[in-house]
Structure 1
Amino acid sequence: MTPRILKETLAEWSQEVRVPADLADRALRRRSRLRLTRFAGAVSCAAVVAAVALLVPLVVIPLFTEEPISQVGGPPVVVPVEPYRQTTPAEDVLADTENSPPKTMIAAGRVAVSAYYTGRSRTVAGRKVLDRTWYLLDQATESYEKTEWGWTEVAPGLRWAAVLEKDLPARRIGIFDMETRTVRAWVPVDHPVGGVAWSPDGTRLLATAYDESPDLDMTSVDERRCPARVAATPEDPQEPPFQMISTSRTGFYVVDVATATAGDFHAVDPCWTDNSNVRRDFTWSSDGTLIRERSLSQWPDAFLDLEGRPHDAPDGYVARESKAGVSPDGTLRAGPDGMPTQVTQLSTGEIVGRQQVLQLLAWADDRRLVALGCAGTCGNEFHNGLVLVNVDGEGMVQLSAYRKNSLEAEAWEPVLTLR
């Protein structure tokens, strides 16, 4: 039930309440006890008001309860989540080029800026940590609302969000209702988590667990080292160098959102891939059947099955592909970061267009992409913002104001989600 429908329903119920016409006469029938009757009349009127006020909540309470909703003949259901299905947006392009960070909704085609965050460094127990302030889209007002969450991730369709409380890692995951702006359910976990990601169909969550904050500054972490993945050879018998690893990541959970339950915890060796980032969240493969960890070296990304076992890369995987990936119709592939970017024909590998942008972030439709573009002639690549560009590189439309310096911690970072 949406807030508007709820408001209309409450109004209808209030009109149905009837107060006896002679109630005041009953309370005041003895004029000789004026003082007492005034008191009694006040109490009676207060009782009437209280009765009216109580009548509606007796019916409304179940709408707000966080207790599981029973399903006849089936398992308990906490969240009425449904697999994501693409719909045609009412408005194709929404932009805010006047405000940085944005105040009003930004969207293009099938994607929208569902949330964004700004960062600021703070010191906790003598250690520096990045503290994010999250702003979450409110579709009713087409604006962004400041939150108190430490992490947010919006599901495809913009109906639900997963939230974590401020001090990461957190011991529970909240399922946030984007319409009522309330947490519908909490999912407790034994191993605290620092990041969450929705599956492509919007029915599951991948929660990455950490022993300590995943946002510690590199100067504030304990240095641990892992053996390099390059083994010694007869030609080079020297002991291979060591790579530095600075992460407290311990493993992951796969959460079923409909029942608000976390599955088994799966431990993962932090030395599994070449990556020295402190925050090393797992993500989903494009079809939601595998778990992926991006590598920061020349090695391809690594994959796990949902039980945490190493798995070969899925068919069609391309190392160093852009965030946008393959077009909705499956015919084109967005190229890697770096100006100019390019789009190729999936079947032939032929370049079908080049774009004067820094990164291709998401497909708005089969022939347009949301990208990271830079101001003017791109004299400074960090003076950048969101743009909409055609595959052929023409018809560029500015979607957001250009950030003065995207490297600054306070600069806003957008999160794009299918709508």
Structure 2
Amino acid sequence: MTVEDVVREELDRWADEARTPSGLADRALGGRRRRRTRMIAVIAGAAAAVVVGALAVPGALRGGGEQTAIVLAGEGLTTDGPAVALPPSAEVSADPDASPPSRLVATPEVAMYAYSVWDYEKVSQSRQVFRRTWYLYNPAAAAYEKTPWAVVDVAAGGHVAVLEEQQASRVGVLSPTGRVRWVELEHPASTVEWSPDGSRLLLTGFASNPYEQGVVDEGGPSEIVEHVRTGFTVVDVGSGEARFRALESAPGQMGVTMLGWSGDGTLIWEPGPTSEQTKLFYDLQGRPHGAPPHEGETYQEAGLSPGRRSLAVDSPGRGAVVAVKDVASGTVTPLKPVAGHWIEQAVAWSGDGKLVTWACEQQGAANCRVSEFRNRLLLVDADGRAAVPLTGFRENSENPGAWEPLFARR
């Protein structure tokens, strides 16, 4: 029995007892693999455990658009370099005994530019707010340092975008000197994501703070907090032009559906409702659009490799959780336990031949059933034959105080 089977069995049993919608386990497991810098949700398990991820269901469309041009002291948003500039390296940089790491975690192709530590703040007897404390790598200090930002994203090469609040009225881009250049927004935003080419920002907006939720206890959520997605804003980083489009989530959705870029930056997507339809795509006007080749086939965060030759997918068998699919031939290679570790999740590709993954210590036949939430970042070959530890172990990754990495290309 794999980690997936154990979690699915427990969540489905709880779903039956609580009369929650069927398929809760599949959506929770899918959400657990989504990018956690962008997605949040809370699910109560058999022991009322908190799972941070995303629950996804189809969205409803409303038309209309607004455009705002912002002049920033006559200089737009263009900076003279990335806020986090890392020199080229042919070596892997790791901190295998530290969790979270203090030294740079990077391969020749990708780097962990930042990480966040998540927790909850109780705001009333029945409500709490999910918060992240962000740590950004400082090359001058050769260490990760705490930031004041509520939301952070890093583009390839180390350009940094930030939000001051969980419902922010402006978005900022950091310069190498630490200066922040701001774009004012017509509608508040709760997430920010760089486009693949680093030229635009995608921000998702909600009518209320999407990070606020009912307090979870042994009896389940004490209050149901619903959040309506209002739409998205695309900011051109060079000119500072911001354009808003309305794109609501469907009424009565579970969880919060936030938006991300397609691989080529021509479309946006939200998580899909099933393992057969993992992503729903829209054009930049907010109109439904067909999925690009292979991008809607997986819940795995790593997705397609840079050369689009391989796809990180869920393993079809019980001998592994993660697998690699050869796009041309369709051959699927499960990533079986390697170097005493059970591969749980594919986080990012390092070139076309290696994957940054979350992995836990293998516990014999139990296959991490005991230590699923005690895991570390591991660099593995795409064929699963070799592994290099990148960080130490998180002892309780499902509990408040756990940290999450943010990787981008170097």
Instruction: Give 1:89 deviation, angstroms.
Output: 3.0
- Does 1:312 find its partner at 2:311? no
| Percent identity of paired positions between Structure 1 and Structure 2 | 37
Higher relative contact order (CA 8 A, sep 6+): 2
The answer as to whether partners of 1:118 and 1:410 remain within 8 angstroms in 2 is yes
Deviation string, structure 1 residues 72-91 (Cα, Å, up to 9, x no partner):
xxxxx3314799xxx99314
Q: 2: CA distance between counterparts of 1:314 and 1:327?
A: 14
Structure 1 residues 187-266: aligned runs within 5 Å? 187-219=183-215, 223=224, 246-263=226-243, 265-266=244-245
What residue number does 1:37 align with? none
The answer as to whether partners of 2:295 and 2:304 remain within 8 angstroms in 1 is no
Q: 1: CA distance between counterparts of 2:233 and 2:222?
A: 24
Instruction: Give 1:397 deviation, angstroms.
Output: 0.7
The answer as to whether partners of 1:375 and 1:402 remain within 8 angstroms in 2 is no
What residue number does 2:74 align with? 68
Q: 2: CA distance between counterparts of 1:180 and 1:80?
A: 10
- Does 1:389 find its partner at 2:389? no
Instruction: Give 1:213 deviation, angstroms.
Output: 1.4
Paired residue secondary structure (2:160): strand
Deviation string, structure 1 residues 73-110 (Cα, Å, up to 9, x no partner):
xxxx3314799xxx993143111122222111111231
What residue number does 1:41 align with? none
The answer as to whether partners of 2:199 and 2:236 remain within 8 angstroms in 1 is yes
The answer as to whether partners of 1:82 and 1:202 remain within 8 angstroms in 2 is no
Q: 2: CA distance between counterparts of 1:182 and 1:88?
A: 21
Paired residue secondary structure (2:335): strand
What residue number does 1:289 align with? 266
Paired residue secondary structure (2:286): coil
Given residue 248 of structure 2, which amino acid in structure 1 is its aligned partner? D
Instruction: Give 1:222 deviation, angstroms.
Output: 7.1
Q: 2: CA distance between counterparts of 1:352 and 1:223?
A: 41
Structure 1 residues 46-61: aligned runs within 5 Å? none
Q: 1: CA distance between counterparts of 2:254 and 2:122?
A: 22
Paired residue secondary structure (2:314): coil
What residue number does 1:94 align with? 93
What residue number does 1:343 align with? 324
Task: Classify 1:316/1:340 alpha carbon distance in 2 versus 1 (closer, same or farther; 3 Å).
Answer: closer
Task: Classify 1:306/1:260 alpha carbon distance in 2 versus 1 (closer, same or farther; 3 Å).
Answer: same
Q: 2: CA distance between counterparts of 1:331 and 1:205?
A: 27
What residue number does 1:43 align with? none
The answer as to whether partners of 1:156 and 1:418 remain within 8 angstroms in 2 is yes
Instruction: Give 1:260 deviation, angstroms.
Output: 2.1
Deviation string, structure 1 residues 138-187 (Cα, Å, up to 9, x no partner):
123331110111000011111x211011x32010101112x22221x111
TM superposition score normalised by structure 1: 0.70
What residue number does 1:329 align with? 307
The answer as to whether partners of 1:275 and 1:295 remain within 8 angstroms in 2 is no
Instruction: Give 1:247 deviation, angstroms.
Output: 2.0
Q: 2: CA distance between counterparts of 1:299 and 1:266?
A: 28
Instruction: Give 1:283 deviation, angstroms.
Output: 0.1
What residue number does 1:9 align with? none
Instruction: Please report the RMSD computed on the Cα atoms of aligned residues, expressed in angstroms.
Output: 2.6
Instruction: Give 1:359 deviation, angstroms.
Output: 1.0
Number of residue-to-residue matches in the alignment: 317
Structure 1 residues 142-221: aligned runs within 5 Å? 142-158=142-158, 160-165=159-164, 167-177=165-175, 179-183=176-180, 185-219=181-215
Deviation string, structure 1 residues 314-357 (Cα, Å, up to 9, x no partner):
23334334222222233222222783422122111113453431
Q: 1: CA distance between counterparts of 2:183 and 2:169?
A: 9
Task: Classify 1:408/1:302 alpha carbon distance in 2 versus 1 (closer, same or farther; 3 Å).
Answer: same
Q: 2: CA distance between counterparts of 1:175 and 1:385?
A: 30
Paired residue secondary structure (1:289): coil
Task: Classify 1:314/1:392 alpha carbon distance in 2 versus 1 (closer, same or farther; 3 Å).
Answer: closer
Deviation string, structure 1 residues 291-310 (Cα, Å, up to 9, x no partner):
10012445622111001111
Task: Classify 1:327/1:297 alpha carbon distance in 2 versus 1 (closer, same or farther; 3 Å).
Answer: closer
Higher helix share: 1
Instruction: Give 1:376 deviation, angstroms.
Output: 4.4
Structure 1, unpaired ranges of 5+: 1-65, 70-76, 225-245
Deviation string, structure 1 residues 176-223 (Cα, Å, up to 9, x no partner):
12x22221x111112110000110001100000112212112448974
Structure 1 residues 101-116: aligned runs within 5 Å? 101-116=100-115
Q: 2: CA distance between counterparts of 1:78 and 1:397?
A: 39
Deviation string, structure 1 residues 338-382 (Cα, Å, up to 9, x no partner):
834221221111134534311111111221111111124334111
Structure 2, unpaired ranges of 5+: 1-71, 216-220, 338-342
TM superposition score normalised by structure 2: 0.71
- Does 1:418 find its partner at 2:409? yes
Given residue 161 of structure 1, which amino acid in structure 2 is its aligned partner? V
What residue number does 1:36 align with? none
The answer as to whether partners of 2:109 and 2:350 remain within 8 angstroms in 1 is yes
The answer as to whether partners of 1:161 and 1:175 remain within 8 angstroms in 2 is yes
Q: 2: CA distance between counterparts of 1:93 and 1:384?
A: 20
Paired residue secondary structure (2:153): strand
